[in-house]
Each structure stands twice: as C-alpha cells, then as structure tokens.
Structure 1
Amino acid sequence: MKSTTTRAFQWVGTLAAGALLLTACGSSDEGAAGQAGPGTFEGRGPITYVAGKDTTGSMQPMLDHWNKLHPKEKVTFIQLPTDADAQRQQMIQNAETKSDAYTVLSLDVVWTSEFAAHQWIDKLPEKRFPLDKMLKPVVETAKYRDGLYAVPASSDGGMLYYRTDLLKKAGVSQPPTTWAELKADCAKVKKLPEAEGMSCYAGQFQKYEGLTVNFAEAVNSAGGVVTDANGKPDVDTAAAKKGLDFLVDSVKDRTIPKEGITYLEEDGRQAFQSGKLIFLRNWPYVYSLAGKSDIKGKYAVAPLPGLDGPGSSSLGGHNLALSTYAKNKATALDFMKFLSSEENTATFLKEASLAPPYAALYDDKALIGQYPYLPVLKESILRAVPRPRVVQYGDVTAAVQREAYAALTGSKSSAQALKDLQEALQKSTGR
C-alpha cells in the first residue's frame, strides 16, 4: 500500500494544471455555502465522497490533491464496506432520513434507476460533462428516463484471468472461448506436476451482488436473459437453464472448488495469486495487483467463455451521483467533473487497473503497450449486458441471489430455481 501511495504522489503535480482549469470553469450556478434544493447546484464548502472501501489505495491521494487545491472545499472520504449490498443499504438509509452527511455517491451502475426514481439523487446538467467522449454503453448506465442522474467514473467488464505458463506447458496455445474448452484445458493443466492441488475455475458465488453478476453472465452467455430490454422477466427458459447448469454442474464436478461457493472478488483474487486457481473470472482491478504477486509475468486475460463461443460480461463500473439532500452542491458538481475527467480516470487506470469510461484511452498505443489487457477489456465492455435496469433492483437482485444460490448448493434443481425466480421477478416488477 505504501508503494501505491508513493507513486500516486508522483503524478499529483502533473494533474495540477487540469484541476486548476476545472476550478476556473466552475459552475455558473454557484452560490453561498449551504444546502440547496433538488435540481439546484448552489453552495460551496466541505463535502463528502462516499464509496466502498478502497482496496487499491489510489483514491485518497487523489482526494488529497483536490483538498490541497481547494482548502475551503475539502472532501472527506467516507468508506463503506466492500460488500456492494451493504454499500447500497447504507446509502439508502442515509437518503431515507434525508441526511446531508453524504454528498457525492459512488453508485454501482445498476443502482442509477432505483436512486433516480426515488429522488434520492439529483438530475444533472448533461452539458457540464464530456459524455460524447465516453463509451456509449457506459453513458447509458448513468441515465434514467433519458435524463442524466450520474456521471461515469469507471466502467467494468468481467474478464477471464488464466495462467499462461501452465497452459503453455500443457500444450494449450490459446485461452478457452467456450465452457467445454475451459474444462478440457483444466484437465490438461492438472496433469502437470506444477498444478498439483490447483483448482480449475472460480468467480464470485457467495450470496451477494457478485452472484447476481455471475449468474447473469452465465445466462447471457448461453443466449438467455434475466429480463428483456423493457425490464420484463424472462428467465424460465431453456437457454437460461443451460447457463445456470454450467455453474451447478461445475460445482458438482469440482471445476469450481468447494470453497468457491464462498468467494467474493477478493477471495478469488487471492486464490489466483497464491497459485490455487488456473482460471478466474474477475474485474480489471485484479490485473495490477496480480502483477505485484508471485505470479507476475505468468498470467494474461481473455474474454469470458460462453456456451458456443465468447460469452458476455455483466456491465459493471461506478457512477458519481449527487445526493438530493446534500449541501454545497456547486462544489460537489466541480468535484464530480474533476474525479471523472479523462486525465484522472487515466490515472486510476494506471494506478488501480480501473476501466476508464473514455473511448480514446482504450485505443492509445502507449497505454496498450503498458496495459495489454485494454483491447480485451474494451471488447468486454462493448459486449456486456446490463443487469436488470429496474426501479425495484433491490428486490430483483435478492431474488436472483436466493434462487441461484439454492441451485448452486443443491437445495433446488436448476429448473425449479428458475421457475421460482421467474415468479419472484414478476412479483417484484409487476410485469
């Protein structure tokens, strides 16, 4: 962590000019310090930034830089648990009490509709942000009913991490593109003495938001959907069953290790880095951290495999939203523009492997030379399928987690779990 912080301060100076420019361009709606009503952006002074725990160590140096340039408008970092469900719940509790303790919220991209529909976040002025320079699927996650309610700060696409050294030694020249190939490649690698005791594959299968992501990816990668483009549930299908069966069968045949049913993102990362896994489904942030581990130079990434070819990731990432009940909204708007700028999202790419929202960064030859996974990540994002964009997202994800986990643990068949999930989703969405 110390080395990350040290490097982060090395780029602080290079950001000064850009940050000063952003300050000079400040909001034309600014006013005196204090609380503004919904849709207004007045008031200057201290604010808070609320997000899940920063496991990369890259956020605080960025906030320190802002605070140095804005001593009267300092940002305090409020770190919530790493569990996405717990983050969402604490943000909702703050909103329901109409508290001004939270100012700028780092929302999982799938929460935008829910928070906007409940008027917990403000509609934002689109012209204040360079949305035309961002990837279109990423921008769409920040909208609700054609209005902008958040600003993309990072995107995310799931990728398949794999051990290049072991696949090469086993005679496997390319990473798998289908689930069948993944299992066949595992069988070859596990015959190596170096792979003794290793497991094949893991993702995020504990009963939390990560399971919703992994379940949706399996369903989409088999040609199914959880909900259609209009939010209507359609998960009790043959295609969806093929996706869920891949996960269930993989638990049964130990392609997914027994302990994999308990994994969150960090559990899988640590297992992969410590040599316990051949393949891992995870987010881009793992790339830089794995490069500091014992497997440095021994891994690469590929698109997620699917039933008959490359699969589809769930579209991840985080958007910046402004709490309806916050104070000092003029400062907040400037801070959101600062944090989501192309320069600063490029820094988060370099420091923490966070996927930037800006299209040009994925095509930058110099960056690709440093971060060879960028083309794979761009493909993952462009092919990604959003999780259900519904107002009742909390009920929907809870139902997905409950039924998918029941299937994975064997308390229900895949067919029964999908039938029950279809009924639960229809009840939750009224569709």
Structure 2
Amino acid sequence: MSGKARVRGAALLAVAAVVLAGCGDSGSDGGGENAASGALEGRGPIKFATGKDTSGNMQKLVDEWNGEHPDEKVEIVELPEAADEQRNQMIQNAQAQSKEFTILNLDVVWTAEFAANRWVMQLPEDQFDLENFLEPAVNTGKYRDNLYAVPVYSDGGLLYYRKDLLDAAGVTAPPKTWAELKDACAKVKATPANAGLGCYAGQFDKYEGLTVNFSEAVQSAGGSILDESGKPTVNTQEAKDGLNFLVDGVKTKEIPDAAITYKEEDGRRAFQDGQLIFHRQWPYQYAQANATDGSSKVAGKFQVAPLPGKDGPGVSTLGGHNFAISAFADNKATALDFIKFFTSEEAQKSNLLATSQAPTRASLYDDPDMIKQFPYLTTLKESILNAVPRPQAVKYGDVTAAMQEAAYSAMTGEASTDDALAELQTKLESLTAQ
C-alpha cells in the first residue's frame, strides 16, 4: 500500500477528532468521567450483547470464564445479524438507561457516538497493554484521546478468489486492478461449465456493509469521503469513478443481480456454494470456506489477495469490533475483568484458530505457526495498517444512512451517479458542519 493511503488514514482520524470536538451534544462533558455511571465497581453476573456467534468459539470462551468465575457468570445475548439492527437495539437500551446489557460488542465506528452520549464507560488505559495491539485498532476505541472500548477483533477487506478456476483459465496471478478483475472473470466464464458463475460480489444490501464497500470503492479510485480538513469530497471525479465501478458492475451483470441483496453471510454462502469467482469479504470467511465437513464446495480451491483498485491495489475500509461497558449496568468490575480475559493473547489466538477473524494483538500476525495455518495473515496485517476508517461522527447514524442511500440508489438505477453523489455531498456538508 502507498504512503499516501497511510497519511490519508491518519489524517482522517485527526480530522474526526476536530469534527467531534466541534459537535455540540447534550451528553458530552468535554472528555472526562462518565457523569451518568460512576466507577467501575460491582461484581456478579453480567450480560454480553453481541452479534451472532457463528463459530461457537465466543460461547466456548465464555464457558471457560464461567467455569473459573461461578459467581460472576457471563451470559451472551445475541442480537440480529445486521450491524444496523445491533446498533439500534444497543441505542434503545442506552436511551432507556437499562441495566440489561453490561458489555457491548461495538462496531469500531460507533465509539464516538456511544462515548459522546455517555452511554459507555471511560476505561483505564493503564490496565491494558495497548502497546501490543495494532495501533489502528486501538485508535478506534478512543474518543477525545480517552479509551472507551478495547479492540477485540480488527478487520480489513480481502479479495477471495477461486484459484482453481483462474489457473484453469490461464490467469497466473490475482487481479490488482478492476480491469484485471474483469478480464479474469471473462476468461473463466468463457468455458460453458463456468458461464453461469457470478464474477464479483461484496456487501451491497442497503445497510452498514454498503457503507464499507462504497467507501472502499471511492478510496480505491484515489478518492475519499472526507478530505484532510474534514470536508466532504464525494463531488470529485475519483468518487465518481469509485461508485461507477459498482454501478457498471451491476449493469454488466459482473455483479450478479442477487448480490444487491447480499450481507456478509449471504455472500459467504454464495462463495462457499461455488457461485462466485471473486468475493470481497472479511477474514472470518476463510475458516468457514475452507471447512472440510462438506459445508463448503470450495475448500482448498481458493486463495486470498489484497483488494484491487482502479490503477493498482485498493484501499480497505477499517473494520472490527471493540468491547465497551454500558454506563448503566451493574457489576462493571466483572465486566472489566472479562474484557481483559477476552482480549488476552491466549483468547485471541483461540479465536483466530476457531474463526479466522482478525486479531488485534500484533504478535499473532508474525507467529510462524499462525502464518502456516492462515497464510493470508501477512496480507491482512498490511490491509489493516493501511486501511481508512469510515467517517467518525457523533451523528454517525445519519452519515452512514446518507452514504447507503447514495450508493444504493445509483446501483439500482434509481439515480444517476452524478445526482447521487451531488445529493450526498449536500447531506454530508450539513452533517459535518461545525
């Protein structure tokens, strides 16, 4: 990845801090303690609100904790599969000042919103060895330079591809550009047996995944959602080129019609069923797609590469999840200790082995045994270190909704690319105005 991408990512983080500092919010007290919550005290049973545990390893780790802490047991509360719906339930819980959820499994981009509204606790940095975590992941857990969430899973977008099909078609390397991706698809689909395969899919339904994929397309064309001063920049040629990559893919059927409804799990199932040549997806897909229990038709047939871009390698959106403590819950001391347990190197290694999700501890990316089992780790680490965060804003719900509306309306033909981006530019200017 280029130094430009790294600078842009760091700049956007800095800009986000400036933008947030200028956002008036009745729940923000200037960055000190959570006035609504008090100290991290109290021990006893707690509830952990999270998305679906697709691997079962989360429950395995919880069971391990519960066996050692019979008076401080953790209960998993599974929320809906879609990130937007998870966020809505957590916000409703917080607005009601409910004690139902103790630990929240937050998407990395929600930290600012939850911290600014004092829905989560400020955490003691000195009780976590943050220097051993990936720096971009740590930054996602901070608001106004204070720690409000601890990075548990990181994420970078990867290109999964059917190496067996590319090899058979004479394509010797994964594509680095969008043009190369289209050319590789055409060669694979030239044979009757593969003519019905989908070329490329990502997360294109109208939800948070589309914000991610749209951002990546713009970034991979050399553009940005916000510039270095925090001003919206989606009225540029680069942004248009990025959105047109998605729009044209739908028009030419290189992106299958069904993919416009795909969330992560929909696309994973399609790829595992052998319906796709290329798939933009998070690392967690690796373990499930490589399963040898008969659930995957592509086990041993695919590999992973960096995302392609307009003129060279693309730029991932930074993903991942952090654990935070609800400001309204009881037994916060237990919650703090459970987060320490879950973010330990041993627990993260266990999770990597079971799920192939991206760890946040840097050492695991350089572990020879892990690299042997998960050869994509080097590519993934580079993806994460050079990834660009989504716009971090207290009004993030409005920002991401505007981005989804623009991308979806263009991809479904309801609006031209120019009109969709012009409207998005206006909305973002309003939402980020200081």
TM-score w.r.t. structure 2 length?
0.90
Query: Does structure 1 retain, via aligned residues, the 8 Å contact 2:316–2:388?
Result: yes
Q: Partner letter of residue 330 of structure 1?
A: A
Q: CA deviation at 1:229?
A: 4.3
1:387 pairs with 377, 390, 398, which one?
Answer: 390
Q: Distance in 2 between matches of 1:110 and 1:64?
A: 29
Gaps of 5+ in 2: 1-34
Match of 1:417 in 2: 420
Match of 1:303 in 2: 306
Q: Which runs of 4+ in 1 moved over 6 A?
A: none
Residue 329 (structure 2) pairs with residue 326 (structure 1): yes
Q: Deviations over 1:209-233 (max 9, x none)?
A: 0000000000011111112345432
Q: CA deviation at 1:403?
A: 1.1
Q: Distance in 2 between matches of 1:231 and 1:42?
A: 38
Q: CA RMSD in A?
A: 1.1
Q: Partner letter of residue 125 of structure 1?
A: P
Q: Deviations over 1:324-366 (max 9, x none)?
A: 1010111110001101111101111100011000111101111
Q: Distance in 1 between matches of 2:192 and 2:379?
A: 30
Query: Does structure 1 retain, via aligned residues, the 8 Å contact 2:36–2:118?
Result: no
Residue 403 (structure 2) pairs with residue 400 (structure 1): yes
2:287 alignment partner, SS class? helix
Q: Distance in 1 between matches of 2:230 and 2:318?
A: 16
Match of 2:317 in 1: 314
Residue 265 (structure 2) pairs with residue 269 (structure 1): no
Match of 1:166 in 2: 165
State percent identity of aligned pairs. Answer: 60
Match of 1:117 in 2: 116
Q: Distance in 2 between matches of 1:421 and 1:93?
A: 27
Residue 369 (structure 2) pairs with residue 366 (structure 1): yes
Q: Distance in 2 between matches of 1:264 and 1:37?
A: 36
2:65 alignment partner, SS class? helix
Match of 1:3 in 2: none
Q: Distance in 1 between matches of 2:180 and 2:55?
A: 33
Q: Distance in 2 between matches of 1:362 and 1:211?
A: 28
Query: Does structure 2 retain, via aligned residues, the 8 Å contact 1:231–1:389?
Result: no
Q: Partner letter of residue 177 of structure 1?
A: K
Residue 345 (structure 2) pairs with residue 342 (structure 1): yes
Q: Partner letter of residue 153 of structure 2?
A: S
Q: CA deviation at 1:37?
A: 5.8
> Are the structure 2 counterparts of residues 39 and 309 from structure 1 closer, same or farther at C-alpha, using a change threshold of 3 Å?
farther
Q: Distance in 2 between matches of 1:111 and 1:361?
A: 26
Q: Distance in 1 between matches of 2:384 and 2:243?
A: 22
Residues 223-242 of structure 1: pairs in structure 2 closer than 5 A: 223-242=222-241
Query: Does structure 2 retain, via aligned residues, the 8 Å contact 1:107–1:320?
Result: yes
> Are the structure 2 counterparts of residues 127 and 229 from structure 1 closer, same or farther at C-alpha, using a change threshold of 3 Å?
farther
1:42 alignment partner, SS class? coil
Gaps of 5+ in 1: 1-35
Q: Distance in 2 between matches of 1:62 and 1:188?
A: 45
Q: Deviations over 1:176-229 (max 9, x none)?
A: 000000000000011134413101000011100000000000001111111234
Q: Partner letter of residue 324 of structure 2?
A: A
Q: Deviations over 1:88-123 (max 9, x none)?
A: 000000000101111010000000011011111111
Provide the aligned length of Structure 1 versus Structure 2: 396
